[in-house]
């Protein structure tokens, strides 16, 4: 067995030099973050011991600190030979004080509540549950981590790029001498996802090595950075309008905004842009916009592809609830698949923070008289009903103020149903709607505006709502079955139906159902004649898609008056999804998807609800709210919905696309796919060619054209893929938005990863034009 060699001990002078270098790196990064001399950041950089909790019996001390790049957390084990680990601050979704995670509630006692906190990660990575030595120390960790998270998230695109490139340069400088040799330069190129041939790398190196020393330092590295980040396409656009001594005057800028960007801009707008985005104080004083200022403005959120007006709530929110598409989740409690995946309150938190407004609770009798939530007859783990309600209460209105629907899948005994009613009443309090708004029997739904901050219960009810206003309030003796059992009716004969076991319903729970009473669907004509507006049916995806294809206009009329909920087929045990687009086109409002699953369908769903302030409510087009509507998305007869447009897109370039593999040799070969989703006649896609070995600054300059007949229902999706001729292309990033929220002209398109989180610095640069079709 070979002996283990320890690192050679550094001399005192070497230690001092290394310390000075690390302090220099820290100060440079703190300056980029605007956090010099910040007490919270100094605390993180110093770090400290925390107790990591994995189970009731596994609690180990670990040392945590923020590394010199100010975006990587270092975790050191106390065990000899145990490998230390790191994780990026970019991977953190939230830091929460107290025993808010399932793990801390299960594995710790209440007396350590004030010392606990959790680091929640994006995607499916497990939480990091920690205990500090005191309440003050726990609060210091939480406040400090939240501060750096906020600062990194709010950096400008330019600052994010500079921070990232600076970090890559530091990593490439292997001997930490603040100089880059040719081999270190090649290492840097691989880190930023670009591969160039040796001759080109050497040419770049020699062009910057003004001192002929064989390495780059100081201004030479800056020159190399400028050459690398130079964007010729921006030069061309800027040069066309920079008519005032090589700069853009306010009038030059107005000309650009009107002609290219199709904006109704004024000189006052131009002055504001210069004031807010020009980095050169001399140019700003002369009221001129430099090329750097122009690029900073073009990458600012107000100039991106999404109409900035649509980032806020801009639609009429005073229409009845059923006049909106509603962001909705299925099996919300699951983190993964429906057979043995974990159930977690964190799943509710994630869905709600994504703007979901309808969550599902699959309720079963639990031990000690407490109802539980899990996927019945499977090996999924269980959570307490009351813990789910607490989490929903805490996070329901963080992203949106508009109402949340709790869709109850009730399998509980009467006794535990009463416990459910008690928990909802005591935890949700006055925010829970338990009687109709206003006086007397309502004739239609209240609006999202009227229901702000409120919870609605969707479930079975013992009688009609009208009965509560009648002198002889009687209960219906109706058979009560769950959503899954209702869907089984499609394939079962009468004998099987008779064998169904009646589920008794607790009056306390029944009375909480006001505007969303679950009922069987027996056809559109039966619903029109016998169902009240608040009685809603749930449709399994196959049945719903069949109705949307064969009876779309009847479906639209049904949804003008009532709510419809669609949910995935039971065969989707891996929690996969279906396309929500045909169901939106049929006017269905509550189209429930598995939020825990990353896929194209989920991306499209998030694109639909990207607008209107991410409120989770999007107003349906007028022709889908009209009781006399003749709209049919399949046949597309003449009507107001037909507004035939031609969408012209030039995919120009990409910026800082992420590496998909940590292998040094792995470089992305990107291509861009653009898709239109909408009514059947509008569905289309085109793609660019692939660019070899360049994820840093690929250029395509390729044109695409799409015909869009019903723009109000259309969505546009930009996807970047890593081309592979032997296997399927690998997903790099995407961005989906409604067609009517596109902005024309030269626009940057941000990119989101599989989990729907923004990829820092990454994006596409495109030119968009929408014209009336001939």
137 assigned ligand-binding residue: no
Gap between the Cα atoms of 385 and 420, Å rounded:
7
Instruction: Name the β-bridge partners of 128.
Output: 119
Q: Which residues share a beta bridge with 684?
A: 676
Which two three-digit tokens encode residue 332? 């919300």
Residue 665 has what pLDDT? 61
pLDDT digits (tens, 9 = 90+) for 410-462: 999 999 999 999 999 999 999 999 999 988 899 999 999 999 999 999 999 99
**What is the model's pLDDT at position 427?**
98
- Output the CA angle 635-638-641, nearest 5 degrees: 90
Q: What sections of 592-711 are H helices per DSSP?
A: 600-608
User: Rounded distance, CA 327 to CA 590, Å?
Assistant: 7
Query: Tell me, what DSSP letter sits at residue 740?
Result: G
> Measuring CA to CA, which residue among 573, 605, 603 is closest to residue 592?
605
Annotated ligand binding at 476? The verdict is no
Question: CB 276: neighbour CB atoms within 10 A?
Answer: 13
User: Rounded to an integer, what distance in angstroms lies between the CA atom of residue 350 and that of residue 9?
Assistant: 47
Backbone angles phi, psi at 214, to 5 degrees: 90, 5
Q: Are 616 and 356 in contact (CB under 8 A)?
A: yes
**Which two structure tokens, joined as six digits, stand for 453?**
């901050």
Q: Enumerate residue ranges in the chain where pLDDT < 50.
A: 1-7, 477, 479, 481, 485, 487-499
pLDDT at 664: 56
Q: 759 — phi, psi (to 5°)?
A: -85, 110
Q: Per this entry, what is the length of the chain? A: 774
User: What's the confidence (pLDDT) of residue 6?
Assistant: 44
724 among annotated binding-site residues: yes
| Domains recognised in the chain with CATH numbers | 25-154 (2.30.29.30), 158-229 (1.10.238.10), 232-303 (1.10.238.10), 321-433+443-464+505-624 (3.20.20.190), 645-772 (2.60.40.150)
Q: Which helix (H) or strand (E) holds 145?
A: helix 135-153
C-alpha span between 414 and 363 (Å, rounded): 12
Q: How far is it, in rounded angstroms, from Cα 674 to Cα 174?
A: 41
Helices 219-229, 157-172: axis angle to 10 degrees equals 130
pLDDT digits (tens, 9 = 90+) for 15-32: 555 556 667 677 777 777
pLDDT at position 435: 95
State residue 625 phi and psi, 5-degree precision: -115, 0
Inter-residue contact 627 to 557 (CB < 8 Å):
yes
Dihedral over Cα of 481, 485, 489, 492: its sign: negative
Instruction: Give 9: exposed, middle or buried? Use CB within 10 Å, 0-12, 13-18, 19+.
Output: exposed
Measured distance CA(44)–CA(254) in Å, rounded? 46
Active site residues: 330, 375
* Paired sense of beta strands 85-88 and 92-97, if any: unpaired
The phi-psi region of residue 288 (left if phi > 0; otherwise alpha if psi is between -120 and 50; otherwise beta) is beta
Backbone torsions φ then ψ of 167, nearest 5 degrees: -65, -40
Residue 460 marked in a binding site: yes
- Residue 669 known to bind ligand: yes
pLDDT at 226: 79
Contact 590, 483 (CB under 8 A): no
CA count, 13 A, side-chain hemisphere, 111: 0
Largest CA distance in the chain: 99
Query: Do the Cβ atoms of 128 and 145 come closer than 8 Å?
Result: no
Strand order in the sheet with 645-655: 684-687, 670-677, 715-722, 730-738, 745-752, 758-772, 645-655, 699-708
What residues have CB less than 8 Å from 438, skipping those under 6 apart?
Answer: none
What is the dihedral angle through the alpha carbons of 348, 349, 353, 354, rounded to the nearest 10 degrees? -40
331 marked as binding residue: yes
Beta bridge partners of 735: 718
User: Which tens digit of pLDDT belongs to each residue from 133-192?
Assistant: 999 999 999 999 999 898 888 877 777 777 777 777 777 877 777 788 888 888 887 777
Contact 455, 545 (CB under 8 A): no
């Amino acid at each position: 067995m070979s002996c283990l060699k320890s690192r050679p001990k550094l001399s005192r002078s070497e230690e001092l030099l290394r310390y000075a270098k690390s302090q220099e790196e820290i100060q440079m990064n703190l300056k980029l973050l605007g956090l010099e001399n910040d007490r919270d950041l100094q605390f993180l950089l110093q770090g400290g011991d925390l107790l990591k909790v994995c189970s009731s019996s596994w609690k180990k001390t670990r040392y945590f600190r923020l590394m010199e790049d100010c975006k990587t957390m270092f975790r050191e084990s106390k065990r000899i030979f145990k490998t230390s680990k790191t994780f990026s601050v970019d991977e953190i979704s939230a830091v929460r004080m107290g025993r808010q995670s399932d793990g801390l509630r299960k594995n710790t006692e209440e007396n350590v509540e004030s010392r606990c906190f959790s680091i929640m990660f994006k995607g499916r990575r497990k939480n990091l549950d920690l205990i500090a030595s005191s309440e003050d120390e726990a609060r210091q960790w939480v406040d400090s981590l939240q501060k750096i998270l906020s600062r990194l998230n709010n950096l400008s695109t330019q600052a994010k790029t500079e921070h990232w490139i600076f970090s890559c340069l530091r990593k490439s400088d292997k001997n930490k001498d603040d100089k880059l040799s040719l081999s270190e330069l090649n290492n840097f190129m691989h880190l930023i996802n670009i591969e160039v041939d040796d001759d080109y790398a050497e040419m770049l190196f020699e062009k910057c090595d003004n001192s002929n020393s064989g390495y780059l330092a100081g201004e030479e590295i800056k020159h190399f950075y400028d050459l690398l980040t130079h964007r010729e396409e921006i030069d061309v656009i800027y040069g066309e309008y920079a008519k005032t001594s090589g700069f853009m005057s306010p009038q030059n800028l107005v000309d650009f905004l009107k002609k290219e960007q199709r904006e109704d801009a004024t000189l006052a707008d131009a002055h504001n842009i210069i004031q807010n985005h020009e980095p050169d104080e001399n140019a700003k004083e002369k009221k001129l916009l430099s090329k750097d200022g122009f690029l900073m403005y073009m990458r600012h959120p107000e100039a991106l592809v999404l109409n900035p007006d649509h980032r806020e709530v801009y639609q009429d929110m005073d229409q009845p609830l059923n006049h909106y598409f509603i962001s909705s989740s299925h099996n919300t409690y699951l983190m993964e698949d429906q057979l043995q995946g974990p159930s977690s309150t964190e799943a509710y938190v994630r869905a709600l923070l994504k703007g979901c407004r309808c969550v599902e609770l699959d309720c079963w009798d639990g031990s000690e008289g407490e109802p539980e939530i899990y996927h019945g007859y499977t090996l999924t783990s269980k959570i307490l009903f009351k813990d789910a309600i607490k989490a929903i209460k805490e996070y329901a209105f963080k992203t949106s103020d508009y109402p949340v629907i709790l869709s109850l899948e009730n399998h509980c005994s009467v006794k535990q149903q009463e416990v459910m009613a008690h928990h909802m009443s005591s935890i949700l309090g006055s925010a829970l709607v338990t009687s109709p708004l206003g006086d007397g029997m309502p004739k239609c739904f209240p609006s999202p505006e009227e229901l702000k901050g409120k919870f609605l219960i969707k479930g079975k009810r013992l009688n009609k709502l009208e009965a509560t206003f009648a002198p002889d309030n009687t209960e219906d003796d109706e058979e009560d079955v769950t959503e899954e059992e209702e869907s089984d009716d499609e394939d079962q004969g009468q004998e099987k139906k008779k064998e169904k076991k009646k589920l008794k319903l607790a009056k306390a729970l029944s009375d909480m159902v006001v505007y969303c009473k679950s009922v069987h669907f027996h056809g559109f004509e039966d619903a029109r004649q016998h169902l009240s507006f608040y009685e809603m049916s749930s449709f399994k995806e196959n049945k719903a898609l069949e109705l949307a294809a064969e009876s779309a206009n009847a479906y639209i009329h049904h949804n003008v008056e009532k709510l419809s909920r669609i949910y995935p087929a039971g065969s989707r045990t891996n929690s996969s999804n279906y396309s929500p687009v045909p169901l939106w086109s049929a006017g269905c409002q509550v189209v429930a998807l598995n939020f825990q699953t990353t896929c194209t369908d989920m991306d499209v769903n998030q694109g639909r609800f990207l607008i209107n302030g991410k409120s989770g409510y999007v107003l349906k087009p007028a022709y889908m709210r009209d009781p006399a509507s003749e709209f049919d998305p399949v046949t597309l007869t003449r009507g107001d919905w037909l507004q035939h447009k031609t969408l012209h897109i030039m995919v120009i370039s990409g910026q800082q696309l992420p590496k998909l593999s940590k292998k040094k040799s792995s470089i992305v070969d990107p291509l861009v796919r653009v898709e239109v989703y909408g009514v059947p006649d509008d569905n289309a896609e085109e793609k660019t060619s692939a660019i070899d070995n360049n994820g840093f600054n690929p250029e395509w300059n390729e044109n695409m054209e799409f015909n869009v007949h019903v723009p109000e229902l259309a969505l546009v999706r930009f996807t970047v893929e890593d081309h592979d001729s032997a296997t399927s292309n690998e997903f790099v990033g995407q961005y989906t938005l409604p067609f009517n929220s596109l902005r024309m002209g030269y626009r940057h398109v941000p990119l989101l990863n599989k989990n729907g989180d923004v990829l820092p610095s990454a994006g596409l640069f495109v030119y968009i034009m929408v014209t009336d079709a001939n």
